[in-house]
Chains A and B, each alone.
Chain A
Amino acid sequence: MKLKVCGMKFTENIEAIASLQPDYLGFIFYDKSARFISSEIPNLPKTIKKVGVFVNASEETVVTTVLEHNLQAVQLHGKESVDYCKSIKKQLPDIEIIKVFSVKDEFNFDVLAPFESVCDFFLFDTKGKLPGGNGYTFNWNILENYPSTKPYFLSGGLGISELENISEFSKSKASKYCYAIDVNSKFETQPGLKDFELVKQFKQQFAVNTIQHTMSYNINDKGYYGEFGGAYIPEMLYPNVEELRQNYLKIMAEPSFQEEFNQLLKDYVGRPSPLYFAKRLSEKYNTKIYLKREDLNHTGAHKINNTVGQILMAKRLGKKRIIAETGAGQHGVATATVCALMGLECIVYMGEIDIARQAPNVARMKMLGATVIPALSGSRTLKDATNEAIRDWINNPVNTHYIIGSVVGPHPYPDMVARFQSVVSQEIEWQLQEKEGRTKPDHVIACVGGGSNAAGAFYQYLDETDVNLIAVEAAGLGVNSGESAATSALGKEGIIHGSKTLLMQTDDGQITEPYSISAGLDYPGVGPMHANLFATGRAEFISITDDEAMNAGMELCKLEGIIPAIESSHALAVFKDRKFKPEDVIVLNLSGRGDKDLQNYIDYFKI
């Protein structure tokens, strides 16, 4: 948020406060005010915008004052009309127009609409005896109902003692469009004279307190999501990972890449996947549920979005040999599929135990021409298959690309995979616009193994904090049963597969074995994006047991005629205990279909 210091009057004081580099300095050209500026404004750094404050002045006065003092903005504090603003805008097209509205305990937001097109900002001030500078705050909660997207200034009685409230406010929904904070009388030793030390102290604290607001939940330029991410890899992997890091954004931005990627998503994967209004499910839970049908993709899950992207990446990097890890075999099949499509050699590492559990997918991979190598080390499941794939990459540092199956691994993998999966929420935006006349749902729900389908469904909404994100983890036999994969609940910060993130481990730092009925959620870590969403509280994390998931999966079969993957069934199970409002619009990412899980369903329900 930006900072405006208003009611500046005395030359030396103006220069002193300007040295603190506020974003705006305000000068009052209303001669009834105790802060009326009668002298010239000294030269100020260009980074500070000078704002002239007027109360029912004539248009001519405003225009000449702006030109005379070289102002960059005008703040209209009286009963200026829409036409008045329009006319000022016309005469001074480069000037920012800030229209002030005084607020007490309530405010009729309808009055804003006609001003939308004729001013640049709104400013909300406390209604009092004076037009501004009354020295007390109004009830900011009413801004929760702010109907506009026009950025606004928050004003009225703000001082050091309000810092904490401002900080709270900056994290709330109501502050979404709050552009700047406007301070004045609380910093004065006499009208128009600001206390330098006080402003300095406020500005420093203000920057710290509101940083949260401007923080993005997406990756930063160092490869971190907050504290999580990075590339904790042995030097042997550095050349490969570095080559990818330096090229992935460039390659993805190439028009020819975009074209080929989109073409394949459309004609080969079958995108866009429908956004389906689940009427009977919605009725049952008395809310509005849309299913994003990733289960209808070629190969039956969202995984193919990523493998299509990565195979094109690998080709452009000149790689001839593809390796992958797989748990349930969904990612392995999706990788084998695109390798067949592109005629590249494909080696899939799969835990020995998973090979036995997932025979149909092993057969699919073989039919598609892939070599499936059993991971014999450790617990012989997904974590170990990933270890083996990484070792293969160490041993083949030049001609091989490793297609990771989720938003895990060293930077840039989590970001690259999230970008390839982001097509999911890009589609949700326009599909929801068509169906509901809005691009944003109230809630997005997705299951989280490593986190790729959730990353795709959340992507466009990461920084839209009025969209609630719900990440669903597998609790296995129960979070505290010792047989669980609920990483956020059980995990601690640490390093797994090259990334600093949350993972399940012993006190001694040994990675532990997770358990879930769903092989796709059976991973002891979670991608760094999700670790950060958890740590910051941006997303709500819910864990679902095997039993809850299986029953929710069966319920979807009966209510909607859709057999979901057991991973997706975890997301569906959220509705049983988590209540939503009838008017809530919810999008649930149905990440995959249940064909691969048939045997599991048969065994579980004794069908």
Chain B
Amino acid sequence: MNRINKKLQEDKKLLSIYFTAGYPSLNDTVSIIEDLEKNGVDMIEIGLPFSDPLADGPTIQKSSSQALKNGMTTAKLFEQLKDIRKTVSIPLVIMGYFNPMLQYGVDAFCKKCQEIGIDGLIIPDLPVNEYKAHYKETFEKYGLINVFLITPQTSNERIAFIDNMSNGFIYMVSSASVTGSQSGFGDEQTEYFKRISDMNLNTPQIIGFGINNAETFKQATTYTKGAIIGSAFIKYITENGIDNLGAFTSKIKS
């Protein structure tokens, strides 16, 4: 069974962390992953940096352009991760925009992911219809789970379609926004979380965008399986470096 599915079966709320590979320094990737696992993080999204991250706010944009300046590339990331499964056992997901994958070759990219032990992909700008028509078979051939997004504006009909197409978890975007632009959840979000929860989907949901502390983590996971933290973590390592990640994770879990 895919590590993601196994993890989703555990009887707990999952904490997932996103970081941009190659940031703050080119070779921080492996050490960040290992430390996050040691500090009890359940799943990691490894951001493959892109020059034009349309769905991201300033924090992740900046980390991406810095990572590219540092020399991060797709090939470099695979090189850094080649022995990751010797030390890390939690699910690892690569999150990135579609163009770099297209240039690497979608088949070659997926194959490499399988070799390394990557469990799934999140590609915000590869819509579910294109995925279904052109890439589903490739992903499945290499045992990769593809994760789709839904938002408060996604129609019930489309949610049902996405639920049907999913085999891992659904990435629930907390509100209509790019990453990193939220501060706290209001009634509107809570209602949306509840509405989706009441749909009793087959696929578990994990909420992302706008989770930055223990309170928002708790709010988000009241109705769902887990939550993803991105911008807040990038901000933390920008300000504090990568030596004491436990100080960040313990605050979320308290």
Contacts and interface: CB of A to CB of B under 8 A. Distances in A.
Interface of A: 230-236, 238-239, 377-378, 383-384, 387, 390-391, 394-398, 492-498, 505, 507-512
A492 B103 contact: yes
A395 B176 contact: yes
20 contacts: A232-B130, A235-B127, A236-B149, A236-B153, A236-B176, A377-B58, A377-B61, A378-B52, A383-B52, A391-B55, A398-B176, A494-B103, A495-B99, A495-B102, A496-B52, A508-B74, A508-B103, A509-B99, A509-B104, A511-B51
B33 to A, nearest CB: 21
B51 A378 contact: yes
A233 B74 CA distance: 21
A394 B51 contact: no
B54 A507 contact: no
Nearest to B101: A509
A510 B50 contact: yes
Contacts of A387: 52, 54
B57 interface: yes
B181 interface: yes
B100 interface: yes
Nearest to B104: A509
Given A378-B65, A390-B54, A495-B125, A239 B103 contact: no
Interface of B: 50-52, 54-55, 57-58, 61, 65, 68, 73-75, 97-104, 124-127, 130, 148-151, 153-155, 158, 173, 176-178, 181
A391 B178 contact: yes
Contacts of A492: 103
B127 A238 contact: yes
A323 to B, nearest CB: 14
Contacts of B61: 377-378
A492 B126 CA distance: 18
B52 A231 contact: no
Contacts of B155: 239
Contact of A232 (B58, B125, B176): B125
B178 A395 contact: yes
Contact of A234 (B52, B74, B99, B124): B124
A233 B148 CA distance: 12
A189 B183 CA distance: 82
Contacts of A390: 54
A510 B54 contact: no
Contacts of A238: 127, 151, 153-154, 158
A239 B154 CA distance: 7
Q: Kindly list the 6 A-B residue pairs having the minimum CB-CB distance in the complex, ordered from nearest.
A: A509-B103, A509-B100, A235-B149, A510-B51, A234-B124, A239-B153
Nearest to A231: B127
Nearest to B61: A377
A395 B52 contact: no
A493 B98 CA distance: 12
A130 B52 CA distance: 69
A384 B65 CA distance: 13
Nearest to B125: A232
Given A394-B55, A395-B178, A505-B99, 9 more contacts: A232-B98, A234-B124, A236-B177, A391-B57, A497-B52, A508-B75, A509-B74, A511-B51, A511-B52
Contacts of A391: 54-55, 57, 178
B175 to A, nearest CB: 9
Contacts of B130: 230, 232
Contacts of A493: 102
Contacts of A395: 176-178, 181
B125 A234 contact: yes
B173 A495 contact: no
B62 to A, nearest CB: 8
A398 to B, nearest CB: 8
B99 A494 contact: yes
A378 B66 CA distance: 10
A600 B149 CA distance: 46
Nearest to B103: A509
A374 to B, nearest CB: 13
A496 B52 CA distance: 8
Contacts of B126: 232
A238 B125 CA distance: 10
A500 to B, nearest CB: 9
Nearest to A510: B51
A234 B102 contact: no
A232 B127 contact: yes
Interface centre among B51, B73, B127, B155 (most CB of A within 10 A): B51
A575 B178 CA distance: 47
Contact of B125 (A233, A383, A508): A233
A177 to B, nearest CB: 36
Given A230-B130, A231-B127, A507 B55 contact: no
Interface centre among A236, A378, A397 (most CB of B within 10 A): A236
A393 to B, nearest CB: 10
A353 to B, nearest CB: 16
Contact of B178 (A394, A497, A505): A394
A508 B99 CA distance: 9
A431 B79 CA distance: 62
A154 B124 CA distance: 52
A234 B149 contact: yes
Contacts of A236: 55, 149, 151, 153, 173, 176-178
